[in-house]
Amino acid sequence: MGMDVGGKKGVKSEINVVPLIDIVLVLLVIFMVIVPLTQKGLDANIPEKTVTAPPPPSDENKPVVLTIRQDSSIDINTEPVARYELAEKVKQIFASKKEKTIFIKADGVLVYGNVVEVMDICRGSGVDTIGLVLQSKPE
């Protein structure tokens, strides 16, 4: 008189994935072979690129750089200017410009007072913005 206590003992149903993996790998190989063969391009005549230089900046947009050298000589955009003519020259340059900005580039060994004096002359001549150009030290 025995009794079965563990439930049914039968066949476990499992899905065999090995054939599925085989099919996927075969499809992968087929696509890897076909894709490089199907890459075709359209023949097109593309115009050659012509290199043209940008137009030089107009006098209106050209920055004004005032250089003070070690011997206290002054240049405005590489044009030498005497100190007594500086105020008149700056007024003349900025008479037709909308943006009244000047950049001052001074030698590093100059006395600070010389630079401030030139800044005062520029400010008195109608310059709105004064920028100082710094020279970077080689490392």
Reported as a single tens digit per residue, the pLDDT across 9-50 is 667 778 888 999 999 999 999 999 888 776 666 666 766 777
DSSP 104-124: EEE-TTS-HHHHHHHHHHHHH
pLDDT of 76 above 70: yes
Residue 36 domain-assigned (yes or no): no
Residue 138 domain-assigned (yes or no): no
Domain holding 123: CATH number?
Answer: 3.30.420.270
The pLDDT, as a whole number, for residue 98 is 83
Residue 139 domain-assigned (yes or no): no
The domain tally of the chain equals 1
Q: What is this structure's pTM?
A: 0.55
Residue 29 domain-assigned (yes or no): no
The pLDDT, as a whole number, for residue 27 is 96
Contacts for 133-139 with beta carbons within 8 Å, 24 or more apart?
A: 133/65, 133/103, 133/104, 133/105, 135/105, 135/108
Q: What are phi and psi of 103, to 5 degrees?
A: -110, 130
Residue 71 domain-assigned (yes or no): yes
Residue 78 domain-assigned (yes or no): yes
42-56, 77-91, 97-111: least confident range: 42-56
